[in-house]
Amino acid sequence: LRWGRALGKAHYESRGLIVSQASRTIEEVWVLQLVSLGCLFAFAVTLAVMAYRHMILPLRAKVVAGQALLERQEKLVSLGMLAAGVAHEIRNPLTAIKGALFLQQRKFQPGTPEYADARLAEREILRLEKIVSDFLLFARPSELQLTRTAADAPLREVQSLLAPELAKNGVQLILEESPPVQILVDSAQIKQVLINLIRNAADAIAHSGVVRLRARPARKRMARSDTEVVILEVADNGTGIPPEVEKRLFDPFFTTKEAGTGLGLSIAAGIVQKHGGAIEYQTRVDYGTTFGIILPQTTG
Amino acid sequence: MSAAAKILLIEDDPGITNTLQRVLAEEGYEVAVEKRGDNGLARAATEQFHVVISDLKVPGTNGLEIVRQLHAAQPRLPIILVTAYGTTETAIEAMKFGAYDYLLKPFDFPP
């Protein structure tokens, strides 16, 4: 009987022990559950923040940038229409003025003041024509006709086009050897950019000097990622760009030239931007300037 | 040449018709002017011209339509289209329609 009681007591004690331990275990499980829920919540919050920062925020930025681009394009379209209208209104009277001047000019003898006046009027008409056509190029850029081409092909073409004219003014236009890299561009428009840059370079050379053309592959940070690019460079050993001019370099209608329209660089920048590229430059007063047209490299 | 070559000028800008008519007359051509495209087409159908010079943007019928209709009716008649707008697309279109040449205003008057 004594054995029986002892056994009963031990049974109850062990049961109590088990029950108390079990309730402790349950408490611990609760704590653990709470902790893990907390961790899960923190993880979810972190994940959400990361997703927002890296995925949603850039998308929102893209949407905003897209809208800005759209607004800019809409503005450009209306500016283009306005420019075309203005061009029409100016070109018609210019044609009449040119015709009238042609009729008058026949009556004047070379060497007379009348003849000189007529020549002056003729030159000024040409200047107006240039302003109108440059403004049209700036305000109504044409659609890109992209073709894959060797990076030095447009350089070669503008070199043969402009070298004789520049040589007359003591400026050598040299095409340097370039590695075989390819670009996807509208050749006519890229040549237009090169012509504008080369003319600026030649104008920066007072008496005699050299303008060098080259294409070089590089790695640049474009639109937030490192990209293989090709830089088409126009380097001169001219006067360099003074700081006060540098500030307004890309402003439309800003010019330091007597007969300039101030649209050359604006047109150039617009064309290069449409190619997904950018224009960079380094300049040092009295040593010269190097302009670079950065374009994405194409493979295959 | 026994008689002066006859030119039909279809243009609505009085400054241009005035000077161009005088320049061409001094060069020995006989110039007829029409200010509307439809009137120009009608005149070309009844009178014989050696050359037609038309602006791209004239009231009545536009220059491209004038080129298309006139070239279909008289394939050997040279038609020169002049314009102050000047896009490559219209130039190509004009040539496709049968224009002999396409001039951008303000064009040169060679001495």
pLDDT of A72: 62
Q: Using 50, 70 and 90 to split pLDDT, how confident is the model at A75?
A: low
The conformation of residue B108, written as its DSSP 8-state character, comes to P
Q: Using 50, 70 and 90 to split pLDDT, how confident is the model at A154?
A: very high
Chain A contact residues (CB < 8 Å to B): 84, 87-88, 91-100, 102-103, 105-106, 125, 129, 142
pLDDT, tens digit, 9 for 90 and up, residues A230-250: 999 999 999 999 999 988 888
pLDDT, tens digit, 9 for 90 and up, residues A104-121: 988 899 999 999 999 999
Residue A81 pLDDT > 80: no
Instruction: Kindly tell me the burial class for residue A232, based on how many C-beta atoms sit within 10 Å of its own C-beta (0-12, 13-18, 19 or more).
Output: buried
Q: Which residue of A has its CA nearest to B104?
A: A91
Please list, residue by residue across A244-255, b when 16 or more beta carbons sit within 10 angstroms of its beta carbon and e when fewer do.
Answer: eeeeebeebeeb
Q: Which residue has the higher pLDDT, A49 or A250?
A: A250
> Which residues of A fall within a CB distance of 8 Å from B104?
91
Q: Using 50, 70 and 90 to split pLDDT, how confident is the model at B36?
A: very high
> Which residues of A fall within a CB distance of 8 Å from B13?
92-93, 95-96
Q: Which residue has the higher pLDDT, B19 or A71?
A: B19
> How far is B92 from B85, CA to CA, in rounded Å?
13
Helices (H), chain A: 2-51, 57-105, 113-139, 152-168, 187-203, 243-246, 264-274
